[in-house]
């Protein structure tokens, strides 16, 4: 797989690997809190950390391929 810089936008696609369960979301939030312990926390950080999943919502893990 090429890195993003070596692949033109027209040849990239968004790959959805999985969606996160409630336990996965909890673990993700804990990991992010730990990773950002000594960093500035912006609006997006706080929105995610304070987000509570509703019945009709999921988190999808995606990456560019």
Please say if the pLDDT value at position 2 is more than 60: no
Percent pLDDT > 90 in the chain is 49
Please say if the pLDDT value at position 46 is more than 90: yes
Cα(38)–Cα(26) distance, integer angstroms: 20
The answer to pTM > 0.85 is: no
Interacting residues of 16 by C-beta distance below 8 A, sequence separation 6+: 60, 61, 62
What pLDDT does residue 30 have?
A: 97
Beta strands in the chain (DSSP E): 14-20, 59-64
């Amino acid at each position: 797989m090429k890195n993003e810089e070596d692949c033109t936008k027209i040849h990239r696609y968004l790959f959805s690997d999985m969606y996160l369960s409630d336990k996965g979301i909890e673990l993700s939030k804990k990991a992010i809190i730990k990773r950002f312990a000594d960093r500035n926390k912006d609006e997006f950080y706080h929105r995610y950390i304070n987000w509570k999943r509703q019945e009709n919502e999921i988190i999808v893990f995606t990456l560019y391929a």
